[in-house]
Structure 1
Amino acid sequence: MIDDVDDKRPRLLLYTAQLLAEFSSWLWAFSTVVWLSELAGPSSLYLNSSYAATQELATLLFVPWLMRSALNRKNFTASVLLAQIPCIFAASLVFAYNLGRLPGDASVPGDASEGEEDAADSDASKTSKLSLAALYLSGGIASVLQQAYLISIQRDWTVVIAKNEDKNLETINVTMKQIHLACIITVPTLAGFAAEHGGGVLPIGILKMACLVLQTGCIVKAHSILLSSDAGLMEREESGEEVPDEPDEPGEHFDNGERESSSGSSCKVIEDLHIYRKQDMMWAGVAFALLYTNVLCFGGMMTAYLNRCGLGWDTIGIWQGLSNFSGLMGTFCFVLLQRFTSVESSLLIGLLFQFSCISIAIIGVLLARNPLMTATLMIVGVIPSRIGLWVADLATIQLFQRTVDEDLRGRVGGVQTSISSSMEFLPLALGMVFSEVADYWKVMLIGYMHVGLAVVVCGAGVWLPYRNRKLLGQVIRSESTNDDTEEAAMELT
């Protein structure tokens, strides 16, 4: 009975840390979109696009490097959490300073000479540029640290707590995603209400930093419980070594010689890509990464765009909550699908459903001429598409969790995040080029085409090989049964 309680405690602490992480992250992310939109003015998406692009570029370049860290689970995870605090503090000060200057932009004429006004404007412009540079820098660092934390939790901590059992993995993955979706159902509505009624920057920043401290406490406590219940894990953590899972067949992922030669490689990036390419579910990761080019979701760009179409922040927050409630239904659909089909088939079904739904949104954007009608069709298409997205998300995570060796989880997860960030960087870069609302359809169309490509990649690279393996297994079992039948008949005769 005591062992059962000990087994549940790390899981409950993991759920608590996930709740704190999701609540604070979405509150901060939605508030950041609002603040940047206020700074940019009513006619441009440039600040939102460039800020998000900076975060994705930093993730693309530095997450794989960070995931090669030699720190153990507890030290690494606690470090990337606590290191976010100064970044959030700096960003809060920058937002508070720049937003505080907005009401004073309309100065009273005649209070100063033209030369003094020009000098003041020049100084203010320099200060504003420096503060925005500090904001982009702190945002990029915080994004890298947060992605490293998510990789550590999803790719390693979850597998350790689940004891690498498929049923436990499914339960924990679904619960974590349900916590994620429950937070983004409620938090954007609260953040939108706060933005409409003058919610402050510093209180939100303080709340985010407090959540980071509490997350760290949960992770440290869960780690101590895991060590006390697993002597082998304690020995590996204390020695700083990671022991890989035994492969099903010799050389299934790497043979020893290949690992030794790759470890001496001078180019770590090529080595990481080589490791990733050897994974059984590489094409599942590539297909899912292609989805990151899709901006038909309630992210920063679409949120700002809907506001330009005439929707208020509180209204957008409600629609975003409904969209994420649809995603919550996707987690239940994933569990239901597992009763009837494989994880590989669930991935393809999820992608096909998402592509079908966003086809409604893209038709509305390309054909509708009224901004309100365009926004309506976008919302009608995007909300149900989240069911397919989250089915595909859960399927991809579980495929990697059950096929990647323990000593490669961080590196494979780092490469996967880097590939996803490179895909997400594309629409953000295009958003800076086509920053006017009239050109938004170009970015949407490119993302839509990539979702269609993801369906093709998944079908050809994941589902067809799985189907062939299944058919081959059926043929082998059938031949084996026939041979046994013939042998039994010969014995009888």
Structure 2
Amino acid sequence: MCLSLHGSRQKPFMSEGLNETRDMNPVPVLQQSAYESVNNHDGRGGNCEANDTNSDQKGAILNIQSSSASASIRASPMELFIQSPPDFPIDTSTNVRQARRLIFALHFVSQFTECAWQFTVVLFLAAAAHYQSFLWVSSYYLMTYVTLMLLGAPIGSFLDRSNRLRAARCCIIMQNGSILLATVTCCWLLSKIEHASQSSASTLNNNVSIGLMVMVHILGSLALVLNQCFAVAMERDWIVVLSQKTLIPEKWLSNTNVSLRQIYLMCKVISPTLTGWIVASGQQKDNGTFFHRLCDMHAASLFVGTLCVISLLVELYYKCNEENYSVNQNPQGETLPAERDSQDDLRELPQNQGNPVKAVQQSFGIYLRQSVVWAGVSFALLNSNALCFGGSMTTYVLWQGMSVKEVGLWRGLSSAVGLAGTFTYRCSTRHTSVVSTGVWSIIYLFVCLTMACGSFWIDDKHKSMYILVVSTAASRLGLWVFDISVTLLYQETVSDGIRALVGGTQESLNSFFTMATGCLGLFLHRPEQFWIIATVGYICIGAAMVLYTFGASRHHRYMFEALDHAVPSSHA
């Protein structure tokens, strides 16, 4: 459990923010003595017999600090931290701050473009079916999640063997390139549909149209896989490495995770809204015929294409200013691949790269051996939840009589509640541990969804529908608090060198449960059967709650046992 991401193993200490055993970077001898003088709770500072020996070192520090004004200016960040209040800035390194801004910028352009594309492609595929069938939409999502499920673990293994900065660049460039090509393909396909509608011909009546539809599916799947690959490289690996360059790695990592989730949620709200506004503004100027709707799709495709170009320009800007993120470089300036704690991690990586089946099996074996696998499996089970304002639930509430305007309002409110969950996470971790925060958040989620499922048995349709949407929107707070908690647990416990592999395997597991729910929706496609899909997802949420609570209790028991053995040794 106590593994340092820099390869050294240190004695545990109790973090005030997380109340759990963590590792700490080695402190130089002179600085360490002063650090112990103001942090008596550290296990290294409890020996009374060492006071006389440390007094000479403390005196040396005082002489150094009082020798001249220039000496205080040249003081190291740790010395400044010793003399500063607890609220001293976490990321004192200029390179770390610049690299953090790079991560936020790349994360914003990547997620904004991806969210806009995922919303627009639904409009494209619905238009291709003349708004009369969900066939193309269902087949698209089925293919994307099957692809992600199969490629998640191999991509994670590839990231662990690759240059982390170069891999992130390739992901975002290829992602935007795929979206740009898919957008052009959609425009070409819509132009053929437009020609077919004017000539009263069949929509997909030739091999070219079918080939274009297949290309949209392939490019869209590739874009989603690359987006998840970028997220794994950034969120599961790079920010963990950067956190080790800061004075308080745990707090910096927690704050960065929250900021990344806030950026994602804002993109999830703003980008579809802008795309929908572009489409709606075009519809107000025409008679609403099918031909004019196709023209509006061309405007939406132009918007998505512009976003792709902007994303590539942002990446080009940062590529031309490499010194902004040269945090993890060797003296020759080459960005290093992921460091590894020991040769054990090298042996853990899948060796059967020529056999994809064997590689996937080994990847899942490594994933299942992680100490917090109970948290990852619990999170994967949440992806089977259909009570999330997705396509199935939206269709159900519209069938029940709710207006499109009200549905949009509740979807926006749901995202706002999720954004509030990121602030709630910060408040919670000030008073309890990350594991305990995950416990109350998943229990809260389960209680909200219990009320949502109970609404199906209320005779009053109006009351039933509003109980459903209110409880579903409220549940997003617990979902996002739980998401951040599980992410931080994996970041702090998974060894450097297999972190991307474990993250990619987690994405594959998430996609499996998402795909399973989608397949269930193909068989139970009528709105009146939605309650069955929702109930199955609710049962999975209950299983996740039981699994996580049981794993958390075992984790806390292990931590207390570790402390019982560590405390006597510190006073020996």
Give the secondary structure class of the aligned counterpart of 2:339. coil
Q: Which AA in structure 2 matches 1:45?
A: F
Q: 1:31 to 1:261 in 2, by over 3 A?
A: closer
Q: Is the 8 A contact 2:128 2:203 kept in 1?
A: no
Q: Please give the alpha-carbon distance, in whole angstroms, between the structure 2 residues aligned to 1:75 and 1:134.
A: 27
Determine the structure 1 residue equivalent to 2:523: 433
Which shifted more, 236-245 or 425-434? 236-245
Determine the structure 2 residue equivalent to 1:344: 435
Aligned residues: 459
Q: Please give the alpha-carbon distance, in whole angstroms, between the structure 1 residues aligned to 2:404 and 2:273.
A: 9
1:304 Cα deviation from its structure 2 partner: 4.7
For residues 353-386 of structure 1, what are the alpha-carbon distances to aligned partners after superposition, in whole Å with 9 as ceiling and x for unaligned?
111112222222454574x665533321211111
Determine the structure 2 residue equivalent to 1:59: 148
Q: Which AA in structure 1 matches 2:315?
A: T
1:298 Cα deviation from its structure 2 partner: 2.8
1:34 Cα deviation from its structure 2 partner: 3.2
Q: Is the 8 A contact 1:236 1:243 kept in 2?
A: no
Q: 2:239 aligns with which of 146, 149, 158?
A: 158
Q: 1:234 aligns with which of 314, 326, 330?
A: 330
TM-score (norm. length: structure 2): 0.72
- Equivalent residues in 2 for 1:393-472, closer than 5 Å: 393-461=483-551, 463-472=552-561
Determine the structure 2 residue equivalent to 1:141: 222
Stretches of structure 2 that go unaligned for 5 or more consecutive residues are 1-72, 78-91, 283-295
For residues 99-155 of structure 1, what are the alpha-carbon distances to aligned partners after superposition, in whole Å with 9 as ceiling and x for unaligned?
4566666668xxxxxxxx7xx538626544332222111111111111101110111
Give the secondary structure class of the aligned counterpart of 1:406. coil
Q: 2:274 aligns with which of 190, 199, 203?
A: 190
1:166 Cα deviation from its structure 2 partner: 0.6
Q: Please give the alpha-carbon distance, in whole angstroms, between the structure 1 residues aligned to 2:224 and 2:363.
A: 21
Q: Is the 8 A contact 1:55 1:139 kept in 2?
A: yes
- Equivalent residues in 2 for 1:82-481, closer than 5 Å: 82-100=173-191, 120-121=201-202, 124=205, 126-163=207-244, 165-198=249-282, 199=296, 200-217=299-316, 220=319, 224-227=323-326, 229-230=327-328, 233-234=329-330, 238=334, 241-245=337-341, 256=344, 259-260=346-347, 264-265=351-352, 267-309=358-400, 315-367=406-458, 370=461, 375-461=465-551, 463-473=552-562, 480=568
Q: Is the 8 A contact 1:195 1:313 kept in 2?
A: no
Q: Is the 8 A contact 2:155 2:229 kept in 1?
A: yes
1:432 Cα deviation from its structure 2 partner: 2.2
Q: Please give the alpha-carbon distance, in whole angstroms, between the structure 2 residues aligned to 1:83 and 1:474.
A: 48
Q: Is the 8 A contact 1:185 1:322 kept in 2?
A: no
Q: Is the 8 A contact 1:72 1:237 kept in 2?
A: no
Q: Please give the alpha-carbon distance, in whole angstroms, between the structure 2 residues aligned to 1:304 and 1:409.
A: 38
Q: Is the 8 A contact 1:46 1:431 kept in 2?
A: no
For residues 320-364 of structure 1, what are the alpha-carbon distances to aligned partners after superposition, in whole Å with 9 as ceiling and x for unaligned?
221111011111111111122111111111111111112222222
Q: Please give the alpha-carbon distance, in whole angstroms, between the structure 1 residues aligned to 2:278 and 2:143.
A: 26
Determine the structure 2 residue equivalent to 1:490: none
1:54 Cα deviation from its structure 2 partner: 0.9
Q: Is the 8 A contact 2:164 2:336 kept in 1?
A: no
Q: Which AA in structure 1 matches 2:427?
A: L
Q: Please give the alpha-carbon distance, in whole angstroms, between the structure 1 residues aligned to 2:530 and 2:539.
A: 15
Give the secondary structure class of the aligned counterpart of 1:14. helix
Q: Please give the alpha-carbon distance, in whole angstroms, between the structure 1 residues aligned to 2:463 and 2:128.
A: 27
1:11 Cα deviation from its structure 2 partner: 1.0
1:37 Cα deviation from its structure 2 partner: 3.4
Q: Is the 8 A contact 1:36 1:48 kept in 2?
A: yes
Asked which structure has the greater CA Rg, the reply is 2
Instruction: Indicate the percent of aligned positions where both proteins have the same amino acid.
Output: 25
Q: Please give the alpha-carbon distance, in whole angstroms, between the structure 2 residues aligned to 1:219 and 1:401.
A: 26
1:19 Cα deviation from its structure 2 partner: 1.9
1:301 Cα deviation from its structure 2 partner: 3.6
Q: Is the 8 A contact 1:305 1:437 kept in 2?
A: yes
1:262 Cα deviation from its structure 2 partner: 6.2
Q: Quick check: 1:16 aligned with 2:93?
A: no
What do you get for the CA RMSD once the two structures are aligned? Answer: 3.2
For residues 167-216 of structure 1, what are the alpha-carbon distances to aligned partners after superposition, in whole Å with 9 as ceiling and x for unaligned?
11011111111111222233333333333334423212312312431453
Q: Is the 8 A contact 2:110 2:172 kept in 1?
A: no
Give the secondary structure class of the aligned counterpart of 1:121. coil
Higher relative contact order (CA 8 A, sep 6+): 1
Give the secondary structure class of the aligned counterpart of 1:234. coil
Q: Please give the alpha-carbon distance, in whole angstroms, between the structure 1 residues aligned to 2:239 and 2:525.
A: 40
Q: Which AA in structure 1 matches 2:259?
A: T
Q: 1:130 to 1:349 in 2, by over 3 A?
A: same
1:276 Cα deviation from its structure 2 partner: 1.0
Give the secondary structure class of the aligned counterpart of 1:68. helix
Q: Which AA in structure 1 matches 2:412?
A: G
TM-score (norm. length: structure 1): 0.83
Q: Quick check: 1:78 aligned with 2:169?
A: yes
For residues 10-50 of structure 1, what are the alpha-carbon distances to aligned partners after superposition, in whole Å with 9 as ceiling and x for unaligned?
11121122222222222222222333334445564333322
Q: Which AA in structure 1 matches 2:235?
A: Q
Q: Please give the alpha-carbon distance, in whole angstroms, between the structure 1 residues aligned to 2:212 and 2:334.
A: 43
Q: Is the 8 A contact 1:84 1:142 kept in 2?
A: yes
Q: 1:136 to 1:260 in 2, by over 3 A?
A: same
Q: Please give the alpha-carbon distance, in whole angstroms, between the structure 2 residues aligned to 1:148 and 1:123.
A: 33
Which shifted more, 10-19 or 126-135? 126-135
